Structure 1
Amino acid sequence: MDESISKRAASAHDEHAAEKPTTGSTSTDDAHHPTGWGNWRVIMNMVIIGLSLGLFGYDNNFVAPLLALPLFILKYQGVRPAFTARILDLIITVPLVGAATGAFLAVPLMRRIGRKKTMIMAYFLLCTPGSILQLFAPNTGALVTGRFWNYLGVSVLTTTAPLYLTELIPPHVRARAVGFCIAGSCAVGIVATTVVWATERINDTRQYKIPLAIQAVFPVALGALTLLCHESPLWYIQNGKPEFARRTLMALRNDATHVVETEMSLLHAAVMADQQRREQSHFWEILNRANLQRTLTSGALLCTSQVGGQILILQFSTVILVQSGVANPFQITIIIACLQFLGTIIGPTLVDKVGRRPVALVGFSILFVLNIAAGGLAAAGLTTKSQQLGLAAVFIIFAFFNAASFQSLAYLLPAEIPTPSLREPTMAWSTFWSYTTAVITTFAVPQITAADAGNLGAKAAFIFGGCVFVTIIWSYFFIPETRARSAAEIDEMYDKKLPMRRWRGYQCDAVREVSEKFNEKAGSVDKRAGDLELA
């Protein structure tokens, strides 16, 4: 009898030991910084979801050289040596209208059917048909329609993927997860540029059909792979399916029960506090007084990045370098693309390790200096080889720091700052204005830099430097430090109107309550084990 009781006591004690966090940590620390999180399921989800932005990267990088292919011009315009401005507007601008529309289409889909099914629908019902129509388009009208339909899907993916990843990945690697999307976009973009460059020498329709065919294969392959991904635990809890959420988290957190239960508690706390608001919420609530600051902060970097010099120095780099007399502009453009990719790898890691605010303030300050340097070299006349090489070096360095700062943060903030009930509309709002700002800036840059227009050339960097300076000041007052913070903690600190500079060291009530509940449970198990031993 005593032996039986002793075994039961030992069992209870072992059960508690399995759940109890190690000395020197709390349950919430384990949830924020779980060890051994990088199992194959997490990596699989990161890779598959991260590559979804690769479709945007492919199109964004292959369309410019594609439009210069002689047989492509012959097919869709005739014998002219280059596309007219009217056709270029149709092929390039109309799809961006589709992208802006797709951002709002993603909101009801994500809420009704979940993140996973939304992405699958975007791949198979939007991107795949649109890409196939481009491949076999008999005329310009069909080509533009295919690009519009494809960009609807691309926009749904770019709106959904960052949210999806932040809800699957532990908070302490959230920036790296979202950053992987941008890295995937850059990597696929390099592939796209290489493919078009390689097919330029083919003298039949394969010259442009091979790049278009590869574009059509991507959504089919990624759509099939997405079937293997897990649905968002937050979406499960929001839709009354906690057991599905727990099952997903157990698979993604290596069956670490205490980590999963703590994370479930924090998700429940955020959803319960937000439940009534979610039931009554509508899209435009993101612009209410209570949510306006979070909405503007979420989308600000997606817009300011467009006027921070990246369109001038990245998208128009070849043109600007040619105008400036720099030798080997194509090779320099390839180096710029590679440094941009390196920045998307290093930047998100810094954002997770160092924090959002330090990366933003230091990174934007460096970009300000680089913009002024580029403008200064251009103002000096770029008459010597050293000045021309200096401008090329500034462009290359800019690509790295822009990717490490702006691109590492721009999609992260709208994925983690909004309150849970307004995540989808806030992300859609941010994506919409990103595309809108891109359209305006892309149209404006040639007007202020071209010799037959403003004729500023690289001196236009002064204008973008001024925009970055304003962004630095704004960032100090409005970008919060959300590193390793749960949705409940972010809600609490915004509700308390805590100054942004005080977020880093603040101890939230939400964490304290979860920790106390965990300790009460642990104490109950200890007491039960002690009673059994005494008996």
Structure 2
Amino acid sequence: MGVNDDVTPSGQVHETRGDMNKGGLLEIDATREITTAEHDLGFWAAVKQYPTAVFWAMFFCIAVIMAGFDAQLVTSFYALPAFQQRFGNQYNGEWEISAPWQTGLGMGNPIGQVLGALACGWPLEKLGRKLTLAICCVWSICFVFVQFFSTSIGMLCAGEILGGLAYGFYVVIAPTYASEICPLALRGVLTASVNLAFVIGQFIAQGCAAGLESRLDEWAYKAPFAIQWVWPVILLAGLPFAPESPYWLIRKNRKDDARKSLEKLSSSKHRPDIEGVLVMIEQTDLLEQELESTTTYFDCFKGANLARTEISIMVYLIQVIGGNPLIGYANFFFEQAGLNSADAFNMGVGNTALGFVGTCLSWPLMSYFGRRTIYNSGMVFMTILLFIIGFLDFGRSHSGAVWAQATLMDIWTFTYQMTVGPICFVIISEISSTRLRGRTIAITTAVQAGASIIFTVAMPYMLNSDQANWRGKAGFLFGAISLICLIWCWFRIPESKGRTFEELDILFERKVPARKFKDYDLLQEHDTAHLSS
């Protein structure tokens, strides 16, 4: 039993909170059969049942490729000779983008994400996932023009901020949609694909920058900007055919449309129990209506939702404060560590390629290990690596130490993209309640982007040779923060693997400790209660 639970002689579980007696609401009852079926459904069987759900979840992730591409592109330009000469200043005979303008340009994307994420709650619930994404695509097409035709670094900065508004929407829509259209067996892989989309965007941006590194004309940086027109056009062409989220349709009292959506998402040959799935969605929504009568941002911080919001915020925030800014500054970091421009760009491409492989490896890992186990294991290894990178900086006069730092950066990226990076999106998509998912992910995105702003300001001053010139010693700062975060992770991250959204609602409402989520058997408890009665 969880904390604050009372048991009647018949075995019926009750939890009293204020004047509300939830009784059977906190049990698996009406959805017991479909919940059991969800638990028993294997990964490949789920793929056979929901092949189009896999496709559309991946399709929506194209929007996140844009966000990853833009964020990586601008920071990689800091080490691009043509960009440095067009918008930079000379220092000790070398061209360099000044720290204040690095800060300004780097802040465009996260500032836009903060504003966009906080603004997306209303249209997501009012207009749905499809129409909201379509509007954002049109927005992106317009403001890529501003970036492409920028004649000054100030104009480019304005284009980054305005374009970043859409990126805030994209990062919220993709994991929300993926988590709502797929069965339990596919939820981890498809929500983790959001991280893969980020990595793909970063990889393409690094490849573009590396391929154009030797060019000294304006097309060295204009051509990569033009590529950003490709993604929204592809999305707009496919969105009219995409099924809407059945969870959103149920909340709008459109059950027939929800049924049609589930039929489109599933295979006609290996059709799942559509009516059973509809009942589970309805029961989850009814339970959450009882637990939260409204769906405002304030509700994310009330009752059991406070813990869910805290967990979502922290696992996403750790992406920034635990060392991720070093990935964004990979090329610049490699140059400052002592590598020439060509080697720095090659290492940067290798860095993002390792991230791609790492994210793909996270998929089979999730089949064998829980979210909590993977996330915490990654944090341990990443923390150790950051401290080693810091200590190696004391021997940077030796070329071997410089290459060791660069190699460890790649290993850190590989570990991050195999554990903390993708698992973060799985956790925030599973932990938040379905009725508040859009707003919860919006809050976490805004907080994460806010932290990105802080480090965007700080990183140039930490790494630039005319400023603090920390180089690899930045590993000490991120290592110390990562260690503190690891302690929080041990006590606060619950295990959500193998849990339906209804089960998670019940576990959080019962205040089950995070470390006990894995072994808390709601179905067995139900059987025991009925046998004792």
Cα deviation, 1:100-121, whole Å, max 9, x if unaligned, reads 1000111001100111111111
RMSD after superposition: 2.9
Given the superposition, is the C-alpha separation of residues 36 and 322 from structure 1 closer, same or farther in structure 2, using an over 3 Å criterion? closer
Question: What code does the residue aligned with 2:35 have?
Answer: T
Q: 1:85: Cα distance to partner? A: 4.4
Q: 1:223: Cα distance to partner? A: 2.3
Asked if 1:370 is matched to 2:385, the reply is yes
Q: 1:308 aligns with which of 295, 299, 322?
A: 322
- Which residue of structure 1 aligns with residue 35 of structure 2? 28
- Which residue of structure 1 aligns with residue 29 of structure 2? none
Cα deviation, 1:4-55, whole Å, max 9, x if unaligned, reads xxxxxxxxxxxxxxxxxxxxx9643432425253454123203211221100
Given the superposition, is the C-alpha separation of residues 427 and 185 from structure 1 closer, same or farther in structure 2, using an over 3 Å criterion? same
- Which residue of structure 2 aligns with residue 158 of structure 1? 171
- Which residue of structure 1 aligns with residue 22 of structure 2? none
- Which residue of structure 1 aligns with residue 47 of structure 2? 37
Given the superposition, is the C-alpha separation of residues 68 and 445 from structure 1 closer, same or farther in structure 2, using an over 3 Å criterion? closer
Given the superposition, is the C-alpha separation of residues 194 and 150 from structure 1 closer, same or farther in structure 2, using an over 3 Å criterion? same
Distance in structure 1 (CA, Å) of the matches to 2:352 and 2:186 = 25
Q: 1:236 aligns with which of 225, 246, 249?
A: 249
Asked if 1:464 is matched to 2:469, the reply is no
Q: 1:442: Cα distance to partner? A: 2.7
Cα deviation, 1:199-254, whole Å, max 9, x if unaligned, reads 45556543433222211232122222222221111101111112222222233232
Structure 2 matches for 1:300-339, cutoff 5 A?
A: 300-312=314-326, 314-325=327-338, 328-339=343-354
Q: 1:47 aligns with which of 54, 58, 66?
A: 58
After TM superposition, the structure 1 stretch with the greater mean CA deviation from structure 2, 134-143 or 417-426, is 134-143
Question: What code does the residue aligned with 2:47 have?
Answer: W
After TM superposition, the structure 1 stretch with the greater mean CA deviation from structure 2, 422-431 or 186-195, is 186-195
Given the superposition, is the C-alpha separation of residues 270 and 185 from structure 1 closer, same or farther in structure 2, using an over 3 Å criterion? same
Structure 2 matches for 1:254-273, cutoff 5 A?
A: 254-255=267-268, 259-273=273-287
Distance in structure 2 (CA, Å) of the matches to 1:90 and 1:465 = 26
Specify the SS of the correspondent of 2:320: coil
Distance in structure 2 (CA, Å) of the matches to 1:388 and 1:76 = 29
Distance in structure 2 (CA, Å) of the matches to 1:512 and 1:225 = 44
Cα deviation, 1:162-188, whole Å, max 9, x if unaligned, reads 011011121122121122122122123
Q: 1:508: Cα distance to partner? A: 2.1
Specify the SS of the correspondent of 1:280: coil
Asked if 1:111 is matched to 2:113, the reply is no
Distance in structure 1 (CA, Å) of the matches to 2:37 and 2:364 = 20
Under a length normalisation based on structure 2, what TM-score does the superposition of the two structures give? 0.83
Structure 2 matches for 1:129-140, cutoff 5 A?
A: 129-140=142-153
Distance in structure 2 (CA, Å) of the matches to 1:420 and 1:230 = 18
Q: 1:88: Cα distance to partner? A: 3.8
- Which residue of structure 2 aligns with residue 503 of structure 1? 517
- Tell me if structure 2 keeps the 8 A contact 1:103–1:431: yes
- Which residue of structure 1 aligns with residue 16 of structure 2? none
Question: What code does the residue aligned with 2:197 have?
Answer: G
Given the superposition, is the C-alpha separation of residues 166 and 229 from structure 1 closer, same or farther in structure 2, using an over 3 Å criterion? same
Q: 1:261: Cα distance to partner? A: 3.0
Specify the SS of the correspondent of 1:306: helix
Q: 1:218 aligns with which of 231, 237, 241?
A: 231
Given the superposition, is the C-alpha separation of residues 348 and 106 from structure 1 closer, same or farther in structure 2, using an over 3 Å criterion? farther
Specify the SS of the correspondent of 2:321: coil
Distance in structure 2 (CA, Å) of the matches to 1:167 and 1:510 = 26
Which sections of structure 2, spanning at least 5 residues, go unmatched? 1-31
Q: 2:488 aligns with which of 474, 480, 483?
A: 474
Q: 1:142: Cα distance to partner? A: 4.3
Distance in structure 2 (CA, Å) of the matches to 1:244 and 1:511 = 35
Structure 2 matches for 1:1-150, cutoff 5 A?
A: 27-32=34-39, 33=41, 35-38=45-48, 40-66=51-77, 81-124=95-138, 126-140=139-153, 142-150=155-163
Distance in structure 1 (CA, Å) of the matches to 2:194 and 2:332 = 28
Distance in structure 2 (CA, Å) of the matches to 1:68 and 1:334 = 13
Question: What code does the residue aligned with 2:118 have?
Answer: F
Question: What code does the residue aligned with 1:223 have?
Answer: L
Question: What code does the residue aligned with 1:158 have?
Answer: V
Cα deviation, 1:292-333, whole Å, max 9, x if unaligned, reads 111110110211121212213x22333443444457333222
- Tell me if structure 2 keeps the 8 A contact 1:308–1:467: yes
Distance in structure 2 (CA, Å) of the matches to 1:469 and 1:75 = 41
Distance in structure 1 (CA, Å) of the matches to 2:281 and 2:299 = 22
Question: What code does the residue aligned with 1:37 have?
Answer: V
Given the superposition, is the C-alpha separation of residues 413 and 484 from structure 1 closer, same or farther in structure 2, using an over 3 Å criterion? same
Distance in structure 2 (CA, Å) of the matches to 1:219 and 1:511 = 48
Corresponding pairs, count: 487
Asked if 1:345 is matched to 2:342, the reply is no
Q: 1:423: Cα distance to partner? A: 1.2
Distance in structure 1 (CA, Å) of the matches to 2:67 and 2:477 = 27
- Tell me if structure 2 keeps the 8 A contact 1:278–1:422: no
Distance in structure 1 (CA, Å) of the matches to 2:299 and 2:370 = 29
Given the superposition, is the C-alpha separation of residues 197 and 451 from structure 1 closer, same or farther in structure 2, using an over 3 Å criterion? closer
Given the superposition, is the C-alpha separation of residues 96 and 389 from structure 1 closer, same or farther in structure 2, using an over 3 Å criterion? closer
Distance in structure 2 (CA, Å) of the matches to 1:459 and 1:230 = 49
Q: 1:72: Cα distance to partner? A: 5.3
Given the superposition, is the C-alpha separation of residues 355 and 290 from structure 1 closer, same or farther in structure 2, using an over 3 Å criterion? closer
Question: What code does the residue aligned with 1:373 have?
Answer: I
Asked if 1:439 is matched to 2:442, the reply is no
Cα deviation, 1:467-505, whole Å, max 9, x if unaligned, reads 222222211221111113111100100111112222123
After TM superposition, the structure 1 stretch with the greater mean CA deviation from structure 2, 332-341 or 278-287, is 278-287
Distance in structure 1 (CA, Å) of the matches to 2:256 and 2:299 = 30
Identity %: 23
Structure 2 matches for 1:373-384, cutoff 5 A?
A: 373-379=388-394, 381-384=395-398
Given the superposition, is the C-alpha separation of residues 69 and 322 from structure 1 closer, same or farther in structure 2, using an over 3 Å criterion? closer
- Tell me if structure 1 keeps the 8 A contact 2:47–2:54: no
